[in-house]
C-alpha cells in the first residue's frame, strides 16, 4: 500500500468515525440501552436484520425493540419467554378469528400453553407471514428461541460467548492457527444453527456477523461500544460489503475486482493492519463511509 493511500485512509477514518455516524445507521441501536445485557441482544438482532434499505430495516428493528421494552428490555423480554406472546399475537394473517393467533405463554418456561391451536397450524402460519424481506416470523422466533435457551444457562450473551471462546482453546486440536475472528464467527454459527437469519456461509464474508463483532469489541469509539474487552480488536475481520469492496478496489487496496468472500475480507484487513495494526477495523469507517456517501 502506498503512502498516499495510507494518508487518504487515515483522513477518511478520522472524518467518518464520529458521533454523527450513528444517525440513520443500525449502530444507533448500540446506544439505546444502559444495561449491557440488553445492548448485546439488541445489537445482535439489529446486525442480523441490517440488509437492504435502511429506511425499511431500521423501522423493523426499532419496532421489535419497542415491543421488548414493554417487558423491561430485550433481556427480560426473552428470558421470561414474553417474546413468543408479543411476536405471535402481533401477526395478522387474514384468518377469520384473530383469537387463533393469540398465544398464551407459561412465564416459567416461556413455552406455548395454548391448546386451541394445533402446533402444526401455528408453525405453518408463522412460516407464511414475512417479518422482513424473505425472513418469516418463524425465522424470527427461531432466533429469539436460541437466546431463550442460552439465557437459561448463562448470565448474558457476552458471558456465553466468552465461555465458548475460552472452551475452544481448552479443547481445540489442530485448529489453534485459525483466525480468532473466524472462531467467534463459527461459535455464533453453531449457536444459531437453526436460525436462517444468521449468515453462516463457510466462504462468505458474513458481513453482518463481523459488523456485530466490531460493535462489541472496538473500544474508545464514538460508534462501537466495546463491551467484549476479552477479545482483541487486532483480531477482528472487516465487515465486507459492496461499498467496502468497491472502495478497496478504487483506492488500490485490491488490485483486481474480486468477490466479497472471506478470503477477500482477510486480504483487505491485512492491508488495513499496515495503518492500524492494533485496530484494522477502523478502516471500515473510511471505506464504508466513503462508499455510502457516493451511493446513498
Domain ranges of the chain: 3-154+202-294
**Residue 135, H or E segment:** strand 135-136
How far is 5 from 87, CA to CA, in rounded Å? 48
pLDDT number for residue 278? 98
162-191 confidence digits (pLDDT tens): 999 999 888 876 577 889 999 999 999 999
pLDDT number for residue 62? 95
Residue appearing with cell numbers 423480554:
77
35-77 confidence digits (pLDDT tens): 999 999 999 999 999 998 898 999 999 999 999 999 999 999 9
Please state the rounded mean pLDDT for residues 122-148: 83
How large is the angle between the packed helices 36-48 and 54-69, nearest 10 degrees?
150
255-286 confidence digits (pLDDT tens): 887 888 999 999 999 999 999 999 999 999 99
Backbone angles phi, psi at 139, to 5 degrees: -65, -40
The pLDDT mean for the chain works out to 86
**What angle is formed at CA 109 by the lines to CA 106 and CA 113, rounded to 5 degrees?**
35
How far is 17 from 284, CA to CA, in rounded Å? 9
pLDDT number for residue 121? 44
pLDDT number for residue 85? 82
Is the Cβ–Cβ distance between 221 and 234 less than 8 Å?
no
Amino acid at each position: 500500500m502506498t503512502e498516499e493511500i495510507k494518508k487518504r485512509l487515515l483522513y477518511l477514518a478520522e472524518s467518518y468515525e464520529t458521533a454523527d455516524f450513528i444517525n440513520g445507521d443500525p449502530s444507533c441501536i448500540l446506544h439505546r440501552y444502559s444495561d449491557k445485557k440488553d445492548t448485546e441482544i439488541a445489537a445482535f438482532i439489529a446486525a442480523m436484520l441490517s440488509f437492504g434499505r435502511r429506511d425499511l430495516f431500521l423501522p423493523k428493528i426499532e419496532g421489535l425493540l419497542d415491543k421488548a421494552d414493554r417487558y423491561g428490555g430485550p433481556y427480560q423480554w426473552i428470558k421470561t419467554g414474553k417474546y413468543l406472546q408479543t411476536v405471535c399475537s402481533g401477526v395478522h394473517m387474514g384468518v377469520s378469528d384473530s383469537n387463533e393467533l393469540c398465544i398464551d405463554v407459561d412465564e416459567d418456561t416461556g413455552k406455548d400453553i395454548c391448546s386451541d391451536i394445533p402446533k402444526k397450524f401455528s408453525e405453518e402460519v408463522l412460516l407464511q407471514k414475512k417479518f422482513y424481506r424473505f425472513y418469516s416470523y418463524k425465522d424470527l422466533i427461531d432466533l429469539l428461541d436460541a437466546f431463550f435457551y442460552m439465557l437459561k444457562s448463562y448470565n448474558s450473551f457476552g458471558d456465553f460467548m466468552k465461555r465458548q471462546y475460552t472452551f475452544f482453546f481448552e479443547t481445540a486440536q489442530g485448529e489453534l492457527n485459525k483466525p480468532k475472528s473466524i472462531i467467534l464467527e463459527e461459535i455464533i454459527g453453531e449457536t444459531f444453527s437453526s436460525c436462517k437469519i444468521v449468515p453462516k456461509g463457510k466462504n462468505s464474508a458474513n458481513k453482518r456477523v463481523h459488523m456485530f463483532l466490531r460493535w462489541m469489541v472496538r473500544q474508545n469509539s464514538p460508534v462501537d461500544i466495546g463491551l467484549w474487552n476479552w477479545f482483541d480488536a487486532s483480531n477482528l475481520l472487516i465487515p465486507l460489503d459492496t461499498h467496502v469492496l468497491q472502495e478497496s478496489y478504487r483506492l488500490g487496496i485490491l488490485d483486481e475486482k474480486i468477490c466479497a468472500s472471506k478470503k477477500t475480507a482477510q486480504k483487505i484487513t491485512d492491508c488495513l493492519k499496515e495503518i492500524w495494526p492494533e485496530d484494522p477495523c477502523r478502516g471500515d469507517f473510511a471505506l464504508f463511509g466513503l462508499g455510502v456517501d457516493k451511493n446513498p
